[in-house]
Structure 1
Amino acid sequence: MSSIDWSLAGKTVWWIFIAVWVALRWRPNVRARRHRVKQSKRSLRENISLVISFSGLFLVPVIWMSTRWFRPFNHDIGPFSIAVGTILLIVSLILFHMTHKALGTMWSNSLDLRTGHQLITTSIYTHLRHPMYTAFWVWALAQPFLFANWISGLSGIVGFGALFFLRVGTEEEMMEAEFGEEYRSYVKRTKKIIPWIY
């Protein structure tokens, strides 16, 4: 009886997650595009941060899986690591689903405000201002557990971390400018990405 290839298992779990994530996002993306963008802050910095995040969460892992470039940084993983990574990705998918459901057509993958934009403060937004970012952080944290390679494992944390810290301040300024005291009051009673902590 041959031993289990845990590295292959981690890659398989990750690809299944990617497929489900794309399916989860498909309909909200189509629905949101039907509503005109009223204001956008898609600056050069925003575009660069999106590329960095995409690279860390997707491109670098694919390069590792399909080439020999990062092979010197491979390491062993086992069933416990795969289990933790899988649980984290499931949590991430649940958060993505809850966030898309709460946002409806207000969702955007960039810094956009749509016509008739509303401030969502219910459901998962009751305690968190940026649960979508929480979902991405959980995804990024899952990669070191699933990938038997230091570079691809940590690339998501570095990549999404860059986007988060470059974007979140601008996004909050944008929301405050749009919703004024309503948003300032909302900020006082919520946290950014971790309930009751941060």
Structure 2
Amino acid sequence: MNSLSSVIYLVWFLSEILLHRILRGGDQADKKKQDKGSLAFIWIVIIVCINIAAIVAIKTPFIISPGPLMNRIGLSVILLGMLLRFVSIAQLGRLFTVVVTIRKDHHIKKNGLYGILRHPSYAGSLLSFLGFGLSVNNWLALAIVFIPVLSVFIYRMNVEEKMLTAQFGEEYTDYMKHTSRILPWIY
């Protein structure tokens, strides 16, 4: 691993820790504790899978592409994912929290990235995990990090969409019909 990789991994990881610490939600009027343990589950899966993928990348010969190009592509994808995540958080503004919560005066965001995707922040995060898998340049490591993380994010999206449907009813189900979850016009 080169120093650029180390810096980007560190910035990515620290940005997620800061988001978790700063954007938890906490207004007394918020409806809390709706995430059904999904946030803790996501963190456990992420930490386990990243560590296993890093070991697998070092110990196995399943190279995606020889040379440094795949590492650079992967690092670029991590940065692109971070950018998508930060832009989506900024667009959602005070309604964004890392826990599944209905904020006071909550409404459904339907413009910007949220006019296309219901979960652009998750899409950005998943893009970064895909980038990590690519950056270690190993097919098996890519699968080990991306598939379980995608699975726990899908679980999280199910929890969140169920809560939002319960809160907003037909308005949210109509919104779901006109947007994709994380991949524009596909999923």
TM-score when scaled to structure 1? 0.76
The match for 2:4 among 12, 26, 30 is: 12
Which runs of 5 or more structure 1 residues have no equivalent in the other structure? 1-7
Corresponding residue pairs, total: 184
- Aligned equivalents of 2:42 and 2:23: distance in 1? 25
Q: Post-superposition shift, 1:24?
A: 7.4
Q: How does 1:138-177 map to 2 (within 5 A)?
A: 138-149=127-138, 152-177=141-166
CA distance in 2, matches of 1:123, 1:44: 29
Matches within 5 A, 1:17-36: 17-20=9-12, 22-23=14-15, 26=18, 30=22, 33-36=25-28
**Aligned residues of 2:31 and 2:102 also touching (Cα < 8 A):** yes
Asked if the contact 1:29/1:108 (under 8 Å) is kept, the reply is: no
Identity among equivalent pairs (%): 21
**Structure 1 equivalent of residue 46 of structure 2:** 53
> Based on CA coordinates, which of the two structures has the bigger radius of gyration?
1
Match of 2:32, SS state, is: strand
Aligned Cα RMSD in Å? Answer: 2.9
Going from structure 1 to structure 2, the CA distance change for 1:118 and 1:143 (only over 3 Å counts) comes to same
Query: Does the CA-based 8 Å contact 1:52-1:162 persist in structure 2?
Result: no
Residue in structure 1 matched with residue 71 of structure 2 by the alignment: 82
SS of 2:109's equivalent?
Answer: coil
Closer, same or farther: CA 21–117 of 1 in aligned 2, 3 Å: farther
CA contact (8 A) 1:134 1:194 kept: yes
Per-residue CA deviations over 1:47-99 (Å, capped at 9, x if unaligned) read 3344113432x44456x3xxxx8743255542321232122112102101111
2:24, 2:97 within 8 Å by CA — same for their partners in 1? yes
Deviation at 1:17, TM superposition (A): 4.2
Gaps of 5+ in 2: none
Question: Given residue 97 of structure 2, which amino acid in structure 1 is its aligned partner?
Answer: S
Q: Per the alignment, do residues 83 and 122 of structure 1 end up closer, same or farther by CA in structure 2, a change over 3 Å counting?
A: same
Residue 53 and residue 20 in structure 1: after superposition, are their counterparts in 2 closer, same or farther (change >3 A)?
A: closer
